[in-house]
């Protein structure tokens, strides 16, 4: 595997940079062999992933080492791609947008610096994974709950910095960030929010400082490397109740979303929850071949068989209630009143009191089971997520569903989708699952993705997050006033990162030093 | 009243600029007489306010006119100070930091562009006041509730842009902003969040776009002029219950905060609420003279008399419960169980069902009654707020209370304070009330304010917002790593506003063009 260098850098200059990095972090933490570069490829790439091959990686152990690397990167003009644990699966994993970029792997920085049960927060380095934090809370009997994404392999902070989603009342992960330590592109260490005051006691208590608040502008940006962050956790509730809805017909999602939006707005349901289609469940215990070997998307009659086998509906959705017993019981009744008449049967709640062994999905216990879906098509499986944001409206969701399903069918893919209900919005995550060993299928997946971007743009929806292959085209859909937002982002980027060394091309933001390398 | 010009501008050049502004908005909307300049002085200034006298004002009627003014300001090198309705009372009103800055008065832009009862949001221009929106909701029978600050004279959007506070579950006003239209310092019109996509349907549904999220970095900044914004409103609940707590002793606030923090964290109490001291209530219906004519702060025995007369405690606090009847009733019981044993008496709840005429403080109806406090000392009254943020801890609050009370006494001021409970933090708003006609008293107030900044910095607390007189010293307390946050803010400022025309000095951010004018 040949070394691809960043633009305008000679092999000699690159080697000198890597040696300088070694001087800062120790030679064993500069990972520059062909095998190393392979490790940082996107494991689910549409193709061989070489269009995003890194120039290697460097793995600092502390904020000070990150700062040293960033200063050296400026000196040697070597671009860096920060990753927390590199598990941004479905969106590019650890791989950089621009080939030759050196991965700044923060996986060694995995200190749980603080967990505060009184106020419900923790302070984490980016290398701390969901399992690490879960084990820490459990082992120390700390009565705080996490919110975890569908796949819990990744970094808590890394996931939040990509605006990942979970399914408890703390499921909007970016909103739980409170006070960051950031290495700026200059190599300076900055603290955001109240932490901008050296001795401040409320750094992880209140989101803002004095003047502009930077946390949410650092999220999904290439403006700095987050080396630790405050993150809010949910106090363990006195009681939890959970109910599973199975909706038999595809069009049931329309009325269900409208009813549940009301309950979200009135805060009867306090958490984001997922309507997943039948494939959401069926792709975990089974593979496609067991059901259907024909060409094209699975026919609807096969879908019926799958649903019958697992006793699931076209859509499934788990709702949870949290709180004091009287509140939970009252809310169960509100849900019954709202949903049972449409569903035509009684809701069955499962209940847990504090201390009971509890279902993982209710309590924010991490799991990697969801990753099984990549085996659906056989071969070396991969998936890519297409994730537009839309209003929480039943009719719009139904239209979106039919449009996407039709497109998946046109391109011969089984339609895997989920609608995650916020309060006023939905994150609609559509997953294309493919066999990486089938070049024709991979090419079809890529074409489908492009069509989905265009369809959603035409419908007035933008992605909340995307794969490294598609960051430029998705950024281009944000086109108000000739793309002024993109120009504004790049104006800020150029001012704070004149050498363009941090994550060139991240979410469509190209520093001027590498604007020519934009594909 | 002589005209003070912005730095480096001749009278002729300034006049040419004002004529150019008149060409853009019409001569009647350029307000450049001595009388006009007086109108924009801080009505509560510590002194005559001439240290912040404007060079006049210009009042555009639309975003396009704002953009035209901003472009002309660049051309003529005239700094602008945008105000929504100019009612930032206690923090400087409509007056700019730097003398000679021209007020960009957005008060004419008062369109309620949209109110969406289904999703619970509105889209407002900055000139829309709390009363305007309230009347609109009432007249059109729209079942959405506002959250209003103590004094409801101001602009809904302007207040949110200063991180103002209200007392319903939507009381963190900045967090309700969702999707802005902003005139950049270049004069370009930008839309934030999903609105960065021209035809996006979820602009006011989801806080973020793709990449960095700018709303909260525009809040409290001088990075742009917000010409409209989405703002979330609360659906009218089925039922509301309210209970008033009166705590007889000063030290009662310690245990009360600790108990109520638990109830905030577990979401039994869903709104921010205020512990106000007795003066909070007594300064509205009465003046100091009626109670005490001696020198120095009111003695504790006089305080006892005041409390006895009004039947209030040292601290008062109103808690509200919102939601479906079963939930509200369950929460009433949780509150009883938590509070009655400490209080030693039964809580008395008032209850309203949807449709009942309801207490304004529960339902977010605006009021200007709180402004009465400025008459406390007699003469031309004024007040200034000192507002640090701290963790929501009883012991820390008690220490802060004793420290502040002692300082107010040292400087001969009656101690007016409130602790507004968020979940993990408290906004502690201390108000110094003075007689503007008493120069000695004003000077004492200014000295006290400086001491409070230093005391709070020493305790590890920073202000969430401050008066124009104190923006530089408060910004200086955010001193981590030699004030890197301030340098970062100014780096961004210089990149996007090379002529420094927008709000120089706002919250301590000085563009390089005027850095020399920093006092």
pLDDT tens-digit readout, B233-245:
999 999 999 999 9
Residue A124 lies in a domain: yes
What strand order describes the sheet that includes B225-232?
B112-116, B121-124, B225-232, B177-183, B189-191
Residue A367 pLDDT exceeds 90: no
Minimal CA–CA distance to B247: which of B286, B270, B275?
Answer: B275
Q: Considering only CB atoms, which chain B residues are within 8 Å of A195?
A: 480
**Residue pLDDT, tens place only, A17-39:** 999 999 999 999 999 999 999 99
The pLDDT mean for chain B works out to 96
Q: Considering only CB atoms, which chain B residues are within 8 Å of A330?
A: 324-327, 329-330
**Residue pLDDT, tens place only, A234-272:** 999 999 999 999 999 999 999 999 999 999 999 999 999
Q: Are residues B133 and B225 in the same domain?
A: yes
Burial B361-371 (b: 16+ CB within 10 A, else e): bbbbbbbeebb
Q: How far is the C-alpha of A358 from the C-alpha of A370, rounded, in Å?
A: 19
User: What is the arithmetic mean of pLDDT over A417-431?
Assistant: 97
Q: DSSP readout, B342-400?
A: HHTS---EEEEETTS---HHHHT----GGGGGGGTTSSSEEEEEE-BEEES-HHHHHHH
Q: pLDDT above 90 covers what percent of chain A?
A: 91
> What are phi and psi for residue B97, nearest 5 degrees?
-65, -50
Q: Are A79 and A185 in contact (CB under 8 A)?
A: no
Q: How many domains, in total, are found in chain B? A: 3
Q: Are residues B172 and B297 in the same domain?
A: no
Query: Would you state the torsion angle of the CA atoms of residues A326, A328, A330, A334, taken in this order, to the nearest 10 degrees?
Result: 180
Chain A residue closest to B169 (CA)? A267
Q: Are residues B219 and B263 in the same domain?
A: no
Query: Of A68-82, A150-164, B57-71, which range is least confident?
Result: A150-164
Q: Are residues B230 and B247 in the same domain?
A: no
User: What is the arithmetic mean of pLDDT over A76-86?
Assistant: 97
Q: Quickly state the pLDDT bin for A358 (edges 50, 70, 90).
A: confident
pLDDT at A297: 93
Q: Which of B115, B123, B211 to mutate to test the interface with A (most CBs of A within 10 A)?
A: B211
Burial B238-274 (b: 16+ CB within 10 A, else e): bbbbbbebbbeebebbbbbbbbbbebbbbbbbbbbbb
Q: pLDDT above 90 covers what percent of chain B?
A: 91
Strand, helix or coil at B212?
A: coil
User: What is the arithmetic mean of pLDDT over B386-412?
Assistant: 97
Q: Are residues B207 and B156 in the same domain?
A: yes
User: What is the arithmetic mean of pLDDT over B506-518?
Assistant: 95
> In Å, how far are A111, A388, B230 from A93, measured between CA atoms?
22, 20, 34
For chain B, say whether A235 makes contact (Cβ under 8 Å).
Answer: yes
Q: Quickly state the pLDDT bin for A151 (edges 50, 70, 90).
A: confident
pLDDT at B210: 98
Minimal CA–CA distance to B372: which of B165, B89, B93, B127?
Answer: B89
For chain A, say whether B265 makes contact (Cβ under 8 Å).
Answer: yes
Q: Are residues B71 and B149 in the same domain?
A: no
Q: Quickly state the pLDDT bin for B357 (edges 50, 70, 90).
A: confident
Q: Quickly state the pLDDT bin for A422 (edges 50, 70, 90).
A: very high
User: What is the arithmetic mean of pLDDT over B398-403?
Assistant: 97
Which of A323, A495, A496 lies closest to B266 in CB terms?
A323
Of A76, A93, A108, the residue at which a domain comes to its end is A108
Measured N-to-C along each axis, helices A480-496 and B480-496 cross at an angle, to the nearest 10 degrees, of 140
B153-B155-B159 Cα angle (round to 5): 100
Query: Of A346-360, B216-230, B313-327, which range is least confident?
Result: A346-360
Residue B430 lies in a domain: yes
**Residue pLDDT, tens place only, B174-184:** 999 999 999 99
Q: Are residues B268 and B145 in the same domain?
A: no
Sign of CA dihedral B274, B279, B283, B285: positive
Residue A268 lies in a domain: yes
Q: Are residues A210 and A135 in the same domain?
A: yes
Asked if B496 lies within 8 A of A491 by C-beta distance, the reply is yes
State yes or no: is B480 an active-site residue.
no
For chain B, say whether A10 makes contact (Cβ under 8 Å).
Answer: no
Q: Are residues B148 and B213 in the same domain?
A: yes
pLDDT at B1: 76
User: What is the arithmetic mean of pLDDT over A126-137?
Assistant: 96
The pLDDT mean for chain A works out to 96
Residue B209 pLDDT exceeds 80: yes
Q: Are residues B155 and B134 in the same domain?
A: yes
For chain A, say whether B394 makes contact (Cβ under 8 Å).
Answer: no
pLDDT at B2: 84
Q: What is the CATH number of the domain that holds B83?
A: 3.30.43.10
Q: Considering only CB atoms, which chain A residues are within 8 Å of B457?
A: 197, 199
Positions of A marked active-site: 91, 464-465
Residue A514 lies in a domain: no
Of B184, B214, B235, the residue at which a domain comes to its end is B235
How much of chain B is helix, strand and coil, in % rounded to 5?
40, 20, 40
Asked if A488 lies within 8 A of B466 by C-beta distance, the reply is no
pLDDT at A118: 98
Q: How far is the C-alpha of A202 from the C-alpha of A401, rounded, in Å?
A: 44
pLDDT at B504: 98
**Residue pLDDT, tens place only, A267-316:** 999 999 999 999 988 888 899 999 999 989 999 999 999 999 999 999 99
pLDDT at B361: 65
For chain A, say whether B398 makes contact (Cβ under 8 Å).
Answer: no
Measured N-to-C along each axis, helices A394-410 and A252-265 cross at an angle, to the nearest 10 degrees, of 140
Q: Are residues B347 and B439 in the same domain?
A: yes
Residue B6 lies in a domain: no
Query: Of A350-364, A465-479, B9-23, B84-98, which range is least confident?
Result: A350-364
Of B77, B108, B139, the residue at which a domain comes to its end is B108
Query: Would you state the torsion angle of the CA atoms of residues A35, A38, A39, A43, taken in this order, to the nearest 10 degrees?
Result: -150
For chain A, say whether B278 makes contact (Cβ under 8 Å).
Answer: no
Q: Quickly state the pLDDT bin for B280 (edges 50, 70, 90).
A: confident
User: What is the arithmetic mean of pLDDT over A138-158?
Assistant: 93
Q: Full-prediction pTM beyond 0.95?
A: yes
Q: pLDDT above 70 covers what percent of chain B?
A: 99
Residue A511 lies in a domain: no
Residue A509 lies in a domain: no
DSSP state of B516: G
User: What is the arithmetic mean of pLDDT over B123-127?
Assistant: 98
For chain B, say whether A455 makes contact (Cβ under 8 Å).
Answer: no
Asked if B210 lies within 8 A of A174 by C-beta distance, the reply is no
Residue B338 lies in a domain: yes
Q: Quickly state the pLDDT bin for A161 (edges 50, 70, 90).
A: very high
**Residue pLDDT, tens place only, A428-483:** 999 999 999 999 999 999 999 999 999 999 999 999 999 999 999 999 999 999 99
Q: What is the CATH number of the domain that holds A376?
A: 3.40.462.10
Domain housing B392: 239-362+368-467
Distance from CA of B380 to the nearest CA of A (A): 30
Chain A residue closest to B424 (CA)? A205
Q: How far is the C-alpha of A284 from the C-alpha of A253, rounded, in Å?
A: 22
User: What is the arithmetic mean of pLDDT over A141-165?
Assistant: 93
Which of B324, B390, B466 lies closest to A268 in CB terms?
B324
User: What is the arithmetic mean of pLDDT over A505-519?
Assistant: 95
For chain A, say whether B64 makes contact (Cβ under 8 Å).
Answer: no
DSSP state of B460: T
Q: DSSP readout, A354-393?
A: TTS---HHHHT----GGGGGGGTTSSSEEEEEE-EEEES-
Query: Would you state the torsion angle of the CA atoms of residues B483, B487, B493, B494, taken in this order, to the nearest 10 degrees?
Result: 150
pLDDT at A361: 65
A–B interface: beta-carbon pairs under 8 A: 319
Residue A362 pLDDT exceeds 80: no
Q: Are B55 and B41 in contact (CB under 8 A)?
A: no
Q: Are residues A394 and A421 in the same domain?
A: yes
Q: How far is the C-alpha of A518 from the C-alpha of A152, rounded, in Å?
A: 32
Q: What is the CATH number of the domain that holds A208?
A: 3.30.465.10
């Amino acid at each position: 595997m040949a070394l691809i260098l960043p633009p305008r850098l000679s092999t000699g200059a690159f080697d000198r940079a890597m040696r300088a990095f070694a001087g800062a972090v120790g030679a064993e933490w500069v990972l520059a062999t062909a095998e190393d570069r392979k490790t940082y490829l996107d494991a689910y790439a549409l193709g061989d992933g070489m269009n995003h091959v890194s120039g290697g990686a460097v793995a600092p152990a502390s904020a000070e080492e990150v700062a040293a690397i960033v200063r050296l990167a400026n000196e040697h003009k070597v671009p860096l791609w920060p990753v927390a644990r590199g598990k941004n699966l479905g969106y590019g994993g650890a791989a950089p947008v621009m080939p030759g970029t050196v991965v700044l792997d923060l996986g060694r920085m995995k200190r749980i610096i603080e967990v505060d049960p009184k106020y419900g927060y923790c302070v984490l380095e980016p290398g701390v994974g969901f399992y690490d934090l879960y084990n820490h809370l459990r082992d120390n009997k700390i009565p705080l709950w996490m919110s975890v994404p569908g796949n819990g392999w990744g970094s808590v902070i890394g996931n939040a910095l990509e605006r990942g989603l979970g399914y408890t009342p703390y499921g909007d992960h970016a909103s739980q960030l409170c006070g960051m330590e950031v290495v700026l592109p200059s190599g300076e260490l900055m603290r955001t929010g109240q932490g901008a005051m050296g001795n401040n006691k409320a750094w992880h208590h209140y989101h803002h400082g004095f003047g502009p608040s930077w946390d949410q502008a650092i999220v999904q940006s290439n403006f700095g490397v987050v080396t630790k962050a405050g993150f809010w956790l949910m106090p363990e509730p006195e009681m939890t109740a959970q109910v599973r809805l199975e909706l038999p017909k595809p069009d049931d999602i329309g009325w269900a979303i409208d009813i549940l939006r009301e309950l979200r707005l009135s805060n009867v349901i306090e958490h984001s929850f997922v309507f997943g289609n039948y494939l959401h469940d069926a792709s975990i215990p089974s593979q496609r071949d067991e059901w259907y070997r024909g060409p094209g998307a699975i026919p609807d009659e096969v879908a019926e068989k799958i649903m019958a086998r697992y006793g699931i509906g076209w859509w499934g959705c788990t709702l949870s209630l949290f709180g004091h017993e009287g509140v939970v019981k009252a809310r169960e009744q509100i849900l019954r009143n709202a949903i049972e008449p449409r569903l035509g049967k009684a809701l069955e709640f499962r209940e847990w009191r504090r201390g009971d062994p509890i279902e993982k999905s209710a309590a924010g216990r991490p799991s990697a089971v969801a990753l099984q879906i990549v085996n659906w098509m056989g071969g070396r499986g991969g998936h890519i997520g297409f994730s537009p944001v839309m209003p929480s409206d039943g009719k719009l969701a139904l239209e979106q569903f039919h449009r996407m399903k039709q497109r998946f069918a046109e391109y011969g893919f089984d339609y895997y989708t989920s609608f995650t209900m916020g309060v006023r919005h939905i994150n609609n995550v559509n997953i294309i699952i493919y066999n990486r060993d089938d070049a024709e299928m991979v090419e079809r997946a890529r074409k489908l993705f492009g069509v989905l971007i265009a369809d959603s743009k035409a419908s007035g929806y933008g992605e909340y997050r995307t794969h490294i292959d598609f960051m430029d085209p998705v950024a281009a859909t944000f086109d108000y006033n000739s793309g002024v937002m993109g120009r504004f982002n790049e104006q800020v980027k150029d001012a704070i990162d004149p050498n363009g060394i941090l994550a060139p091309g991240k979410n469509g933001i190209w520093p001027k030093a590498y604007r020519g390398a934009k594909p």
